[in-house]
């Protein structure tokens, strides 16, 4: 059974991952390990959130992901 790729579903999965990083419990670590965990969680959230805000399309068999990094208009 062939599966069809759905770019909108992929974007939704990244939104869910970003939310899941925010809910991730802090493990019982301290010191340098704690700082490393927090930094990694921040990077994970940023990456997943950016992809969750993206628009995706398939053109001529190529997946295009567009992420607008401009600051919001005032």
User: Token pair for residue 13?
Assistant: 């999965």
pLDDT of residue 60: 93
Structure token pair of residue 49:
């959130």
Residue 49: other Cβ atoms inside 10 A: 17
**Which whole-number Å values give the CA distances from 26 to 37, 46, 71, in the listed order?**
8, 17, 31
Whole-structure pTM value: 0.78
Separation CA 55–CA 52 (nearest Å): 8
Nearest Cα to Cα of residue 18 among 53, 47, 38, 48: 48
What pLDDT does residue 30 have? 87
Average pLDDT of each block of 10 consecutive residues along the chain (74 residues)?
81 95 87 91 94 94 93 85
Task: Give CA–CA dist 71/55, Å, rounded.
Answer: 17
Return the pLDDT at 36: 92
Give me the pLDDT at residue 1, please. Answer: 47
The predicted structure's pLDDT at residue 74: 82
């Amino acid at each position: 059974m062939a599966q069809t790729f759905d770019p909108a579903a992929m974007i939704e999965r990244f939104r869910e991952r970003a939310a899941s990083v925010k809910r991730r419990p802090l493990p019982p670590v301290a010191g340098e390990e704690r700082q490393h965990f927090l930094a990694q969680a921040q990077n994970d959230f940023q990456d997943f959130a950016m992809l969750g805000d993206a628009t995706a399309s398939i053109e001529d068999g190529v997946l295009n992901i567009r992420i607008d990094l401009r600051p919001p208009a005032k």
